[in-house]
Each structure stands twice: as structure tokens, then as C-alpha cells.
Chain A
Amino acid sequence: MRIDYNIKDKIDFYIVIPVILLICIGLISIFSSTYNNSLAQNNFEKQLYFVIVSFFIFLIIHFLPTNTFKILSVPSYIFGLLLLLLVLVIGKKVSGAKSWIALGTFGFQPSEFAKIATILALSNFLSRNNNNIDSFKDIIFALGIGLIPVALILLEPDMGTSIVFMFFIFILLFWKGLSILWLVVVISPGVIALSAIFGITTFIISLVVLLGILFLLNRDLFFNGSVFALNLAAGFFADYIYHMLSPHQQARINSFIDPSSDPLGTGYNSIQAMVAVGSGGIFGKGFMSGNQTQLQYIPEQWTDFIFCAISEEFGFIGSISVVILFLILLGRILKNASNSRDEFLSLTQIGIFSVLFIHFLINVGMVIGLIPIIGIPLPFVSYGGSSLVVNVIMIAIVSNIYRTRKNYI
């Protein structure tokens, strides 16, 4: 087989250029949002350092033989689990979650690394030749691979990352071709649990809807009964958990349901974020001129709320650019994934797509008030070493697969 070695063929510019632009936008906004903050004085320099580190990591991974990923998938998954256990023991508590391992002056988040490892391991399992995704045993096994790290991450506890995991696990199963019935079975406990928190009415309505869907898809009374029972249990369990939560966590959930109910309390971040975005207008208030950003109305804006700084200082033009860049990037990964004829590589890319997509969805969604405040960063843009490196590794994997795509036709 002949491979055309021109640059366009080796590097996917639809992937690389949006990422570079996003990283640049991120650097600019980190500079602006930390400029007046004594607590975050060196964050711009640190981020720049990680950008350079990431560049070399990208080059290395980009040129690795593509089968390395499959070979490394199981060992890295086991290593990832060990790290997740380790962090529970020696982890450093940052904003309520024991999710960091200190490495000299830099911190490192095992759950970020575990994302890649879990994607690779689950893709590996799902792409085995004898895998029958509609068999009960294989589904349980696949869920097991996915949910063990989720369980460990929930112990930290890190709600945001757990949601990311659950999302990409579901999308991988979906991509693999799990039947709609099973998809419903897999996803329903989560939906029911969520509806239970919203109140008894929504809980009952969603249970009725679920029952309807089950009987539409399947006539087996016993099967439907068990699934229904499982869901009922999930609902009550969620309610139980909700009441076990500390008041401030409950308040967070409540304030999402109606952020204006307590504007000076828990809805604070949400409202200030929206004020920052909305007040940006079409062209923004200009670099270093957003008062919401410069006066630190939003705590730690350079991390999870970086989108506010972009929206406030660069306006609709800036914020819509970020959305378009993500649309191009994610669309391209999705296209590459569906073009991949190798099942493992296709699944891996879909996993990566899902991770970036859910981060984008939750992060931007929460900033513009469509989703409750869940603390996860905006890929490539938010400040944070581990996050940036892991995201770049994922992009490098996609890029690597693109480089060798013609080998797998």
C-alpha cells in the first residue's frame, strides 16, 4: 500500500488548527483573568509551560505506531485504576475533592489519565471479535470496565468527572451498536434518579414514560418488571442520597432548578457568569477591560469559568468563535471516527469525541445558564496542566490515527 507523504495527508488541519486556536484563546483569557489576581499570579506562565510540554507530547504520540494504543490499553487501564486508588490514600484535597496527586510543584489528576485508559480499555473490549454486545454477560462486563473507575472517582468525590465517564461509556456502547432496549435499560436509572430529585411529580411521570417505552420495545413482562424495579430503586436511592447530601450541595441542586430563587446565595456563580457573558455584547468590552473578569466576580475564573472571560471581553464574536471551533473539531473527530474501518480505532475516537463533547456541553452550558454548575473545565481553553496534557494526548491519538488511516482500509 502506498502512502502519500504530503503534509496535508499526515496532519488533519481540521483537528489541529481549531485546537491551536482554542489554546491561544485560552492563553489570552487566562492572562486577562489572572492579571489582577494575586492568588493566580503565575498561572499564565504555568499554562504556557504546559502548552510547550504538550506540543512535544503531541509530536511523540503523533508518530507512535498506531497499534501501540491497543497494546497499551489494558496495562494503562490497570495503571489508571491503581492511580485512582492511590489518590484516595495520598491525594490532596482541592475544593472538596481528593483528586490530586502532588508531583513536586505540579499537581496531577489521575482521573484525567484514567479517561484515556478507560476509553482504550473499553474500546479494546468492545472490539474483540467474539464480543456480542447484546448479550447480558458482555454488557455487564463492559459496564464493569467503565463503572469501576466511576465508582473510584465518586469516592473522591468528583461529580463532574463521573458524569464525563458515564457519558462516554454510554456513547461507546451506543456506537458499538447496543440495541435501543438495552440503551434504555442502561440509561434509564440515571434519568429516573435525576427526575426523582426534581420532585415527586416528575418522578412519577418519568416512571410512567419509562414503562410505556419498555412495553413498546419489549413484551417480556419479567424483563420489564425487573427493569422497572431497578429504576424505582434508583429513584428512591437518588432521593436518599439527596437527603444525605450536605446542605450546600443540596442548595446547589436547588439553585439550578431556580437560580433566581436565591440570587445572593448558591445561584451566585451562575448569575455572575451570565451577567459576565450577557454584558459582553457584540464586540465585548475589550481585552483586559471586562469588569466582571477583572474584579474577580467569578471565583477561579481562569479554570471552569474561562468562557465568561472570553464572552465578556470579546463579546458575541469571541464566544461564537469558540462554539464554531468546537463544532469543527468535534464534527471532524466524529467524521474520522466513522471513517475508521478498524473497530478499536473508531471506538477510541468516538470515546475521545464524547469526552470533549460532554466537557464542551456542560462547561459552556453551565456558564450560559442552561445546565447546573458542574465544575469541569473547557478543553484546551481552561487553565490546568493535567487537563491540557490529557486533552492534547487525546487529540494526538486522533491525529495519529488520521496519519495512519490508509493502513487500516
Chain B
Amino acid sequence: MPEGQFANKQPITNEEALKHLLSDKGGKQYYAEMAELDVDTEKLWASIRKTCKSRTMTWLEICAHCGMCADSCFLYRCNDRDPEQVPAFKIQSTLGEMVRRKGQVDNAFMRRAMDYAWSRCTCCNRCGQFCPHGIDMGVMFSYLRGLLYAQGFVPWELKIGAGMHRVYRAQMDVTTEDWVDTCEWMAEENSEEWPGLEIPVDLEDADIMYTLNAREPKHYPEDVAEAAILFHLAGEKWTVPSKGWEQTSLSLFAGDWEACRMNVEEVYGAIERLRPKRVIGTECGHAHRATVIEGPYWAGRPDGKPPVEYIHYVEWVAEALRTGKIKIDPAKKIREKVTLQDSCNYVRNHGLGKFTREIISYIVEDGYFVEMGPNREYNYCCGGGGGFNGVGMYRPQRNVALKTKRDQILATGAKLVIAPCHNCWDAIRDLEEEYEIGIRWSFLKPLLISMAIVPEHLKPQEEDE
């Protein structure tokens, strides 16, 4: 079958198609159609020739097959050191083979490549740190995902996710109206406890524009309120855009580069419209990757930088604590063993580990913070990165993948895990559900609110009765 009604080479571009694909529960028919989907080998080879240049070709060619990458990969380690989980094997037997065969591959090859690209690599980039030749297989798997996506070989949820970005410019069906309503609702809901609390929408020339993850307004609106409370506490002049507020990119996980561009241009459009001094993104790893690290390139910006300074939430929190904009009540500091999850996307891939540790120094009493081993740039993926958390078909593999983080956390002896990243937060929640090791996990925002000293003028006034 050349093209199915669900599994095909066309991206989702309108609401109707999106709802239609969503109606195929769990992608049952989608995957059945995919088993018959033709590979457009000419288009595949043309695409490889156009995009697989010097760096990737050299990586594929000079790999010494030394196996030093094996131990670097958490999926290799937690799958009983299965040789088929060695990063070099995974990429050589998929992308490498595809290039060697000049794109002449069949449906079975593509489906196997899809399994490898989305269930055997989270694009955490750790293997690149262990390869003597500097071969970053995470980067290559991300590239492979793009080739597979263009041919229709992508997990159902991620085709939907990329479609969401194309239709709503958000990873979930949150419209501008929904979003603005949520802001108003949250400001009102918390106004009694926090008099004067506002969530200013489309304020021009603010000091800060805040961007976030669609699941915050969709499923965790209190997260939006918490961000507002902390900006309020810190006395910041801030705003959120009515359009261009969604910072994440499931299209990055899907390999839909066009959707990636569309989404990031929406965010940069908001920056140009509202002219904030700087932008702060929420506690999310891949959102930061998508908008601050990779985004400028998708938008074709030659300097590789966003239009204005664009920082991660942890950078702002560290600054707010350092400058005293937010003060922590010493009596409320954490006094139990606590550990910290380093998100691959902004620690390994953007060097922000020092900021999270600076935050720890303010909110955790000396002697209670326990590092995971290894940590910072060398930390392991939470087990659910790169879209792994969201793909139903790969849930069993994902659950195995959580073992690495489980064991790392158990070794610290901590019962509280600070996870300033949505994906990591989910993975740690799921590992507790799956393995019941008796831990709690948290973003920074609720911890900070519970510990911050509230200045008198921001406290609710006593009723004059």
C-alpha cells in the first residue's frame, strides 16, 4: 500500500486531520498501515545526499568500532549489556546502513530503524562524550528521526505532537483564548492569598517575557500561578505573550524540522512584538533546547542566538536568590537528604549545572544535598527523554530504561528529588509508580514558594472588621 489514511508521508496540517488521527486510539490502524507503507527510496537518497555532509559522513566512516561508547549508554547498561544496545551498533545498523545502501531500503528496515531511533536512543548525547573521535550518536539519531519522519515512519503520538505544533503552535490543543483565560483564572484564583498578583498578557517593553510548556495551562495550571507568584515576589516587571508562549517542541522529538521552525518563529515573533529585555523559559529541558539552543538555527539566525537574551528558569532563580530578589527563610530550608536531577538538554547540552547547584546552596541546609553519581555533564538521562515518555508502544522499553535513574537515586539515599525539567519530572514520577522506592519529586517553583520570605506589603491585609 503506498499511503494509508493515517500512516503516510504527509504531516498533519489542519485540525480535522489531527482529530482524525487522534480518533485512531493508540494508533492501532496507524501501525497496521505503516507495516504496508512504501518507502520512497529516491526521495530518501536525495534527502541524504542533500543533508548528510562532511560531519555525519565522517562520523559514520571513521568510527573505529572500538566499543568505548557501550558503557556510556544507559540503555546498554540497563538492558543487561545487550550488545545490540551499543550506540555504535545502533547507529551503524540503521543510519549507517541506510547511507551505505544509498537509500535502497525496504519497509521492514524502516520500521526497525524507527524502533531504534525512538526506543533505543533518547538523544541524550552522552555517548559523544566518550567517543575518542567525538562521534555524537545522539545527534545522528536525531537526524535519522528526521529522515524517518519524512517517510511516515514515526510513532503515532509524535506524529500527533508535531501536528499539534503545526495546527496550534503548541504541543497540545491550547488555543490563544484558552491560554489567556487560564492566565486570568490563575491570577484571580490566587489573588486572595497574593494581593495584587497579576499575569500580564502582551505587556510591551517588559523586563521579562515568560514562555512555558503547553501542559502547564492544559493540565497543571498551578504551575503558571507559581511562576506568577515568584515573579510577583521578586518584584519583576514581566509578561506573557498571548501568542508565542509555547516553548516546547514535540516536533524536535518527531524530527519534523519544518514544524520546529514554525513553532520557534512564533516565539521569536512574540519577542519582536513585545520587545522584552530578556526571555525566561520554564523548568523544562527540551523546551530550552528547542528555543534557545537549536531554535535560532531552525529560524535561520546566522549568529545562532535568539533575538534577545533567553535564559532557563534555573538561571533566573539562581540570580534572584543571589541578588536577594527572593529571600529564603533559613528555618524553612530543606533538612532531609535531597538529590538533584541534571537534565541532559540544559546541563550536558548547555552547561547550566552550576546554576542548579547554586540554587541548592540557598534552599538546602548544608550537609543534606547528595549528588547522584555520575552527575552534571556526565549524568544519565532520566530514562524518558527524547520523546520516550510519550510513546505508548515503547512503554515496556521505557520502564526498563527507568532503572538507571532508580538505582542512581537509591544510591544517594535521598527521598526527595529536585527535577527542574518536565520530562525528567515525569520519568521520576513514573519510576516511583513502577518500582515504588518511596521517593518524592518536585519542580523548584513549589519548593521556592514554600520557603520564600514574603515581604509585609505582599501579604494579604487583615480584614478591617
A binds B: no
Report A's interface with B, CB cutoff 8 A: none
Report B's interface with A, CB cutoff 8 A: none
